[in-house]
Structure 1
Amino acid sequence: MYRTLYRNESKHYKLTIKFQRTYANEQTWASLLGAMLEVCFDDIACNGFSMSDGSPGVSSSHLNEKNGDIRYLRKDRSGKILDLSATPHELDIKRQIAWNEALYKFGWKSL
């Protein structure tokens, strides 16, 4: 597991990557940081991006450190996996919309 966090007086974020695919290219990482600082959430969790050599690992769409599996935001702010088909009431809709809008603003056009 990999964690990164940033906190100053007015901006903060915390990102947890749960698996070994911890590599994102410069544009992906910069846009993710921008979106995280836009919303200032401390429960952003990701299942991974790419392997260190740019290979996708277990997910064929994660080639060249471009794509990542970011988890839905939960009301309990735990960062745990949320199965929308089983427990849709646990989705924090307001924060998820804000997060999606921030990602879109910083270049994530396909979610």
Structure 2
Amino acid sequence: MFEFAENKSATGYAEYIYYDKNGQVHNIGKTAFIVAPKRQSGNALVGGNVYLVDQRQLKSYKSRDGKVGYEWDIYLENRERYYLKGDAFAAVIGAMCSLGYGYYHGSGFSDKAGRSVGSSSHYNGINGDFRYLGLNGCHKGGPVLVSQVSRFDWDANVKFVNALYLFGYKSFGSQVMKRKGVPDRELPHVTFTNSDHDNHLHLQGYQPNIQDI
């Protein structure tokens, strides 16, 4: 379970607390909200605001026993997509923490103004991209392609997608894994595939189950 707390005016800060399956409490940290105008596809303004957090402020967490947490890098040249909607950030790091401890890398979500940069769907800090997870952590050194059967960690990617689904992301963009002599395979909950997603997983279809406590 993940607890995401904010002050009533939603203009101050967000605090993130993860409760693992053993009932242990993990205080991920607290960070300031960034107020940005709400947008639609094409970055046109639609009225109202969205409250973003800067992923770099809470880019890593590791429990004392080293069994729960994440290290998460975002980088894509000339695209500063470090910003996520407050509850979307909770969903992503909740999924990561639920899998134990691991390293993740992606090209990010939105820019500081909530705009989609280099893609049409990364607005309001909701949709985002991750490198595929590689065998023996090889994705830390560079992108892993679906077509690289010797590097692509099928089981780890399935677990990651299923965890993201549990925490609210219900649709993904990916590429079909093709192997000679073996039936093609597709990651779970994938709703569109194309060659542009041979090197990364796209998160979308965000439908969180949020409870006020």
Identity %: 30
Structure number with the bigger relative contact order (C-alpha 8 A, sep ≥ 6) is 1
In the alignment, structure 2 segments of 5+ residues that lack a partner are 1-55, 173-213
The one of 21, 26, 29 aligned to 2:89: 29
Alignment-derived partner of residue 95 in structure 1: 156
Mapped to 2, the partners of 1:76 and 1:59 lie a distance apart of: 30
Which runs of 4 or more aligned residues in structure 1 lie more than 4 Å from their structure 2 counterparts after TM superposition?
Answer: none
Alignment-derived partner of residue 46 in structure 2: none
Where is the helix percentage greater, Structure 1 or Structure 2? 1
TM-score (norm 2): 0.48
Mapped to 1, the partners of 2:160 and 2:144 lie a distance apart of: 16
TM-fit CA distance, 1:90? 1.0
Q: Tell me how many residue pairs correspond in the alignment.
A: 109
Q: What is the SS of the residue equivalent to 1:13?
A: strand
In the alignment, structure 1 segments of 5+ residues that lack a partner are none
Where is the strand percentage greater, Structure 1 or Structure 2? 2
1:81 aligns with 2:143: yes
Contact 2:81/2:108, CA 8 A, preserved across alignment: yes
Contact 1:43/1:78, CA 8 A, preserved across alignment: no
Q: 1:45 to 1:28 in 2, by over 3 A?
A: same
Report the structure number with the largest CA radius of gyration. 2
TM-score (norm 1): 0.89
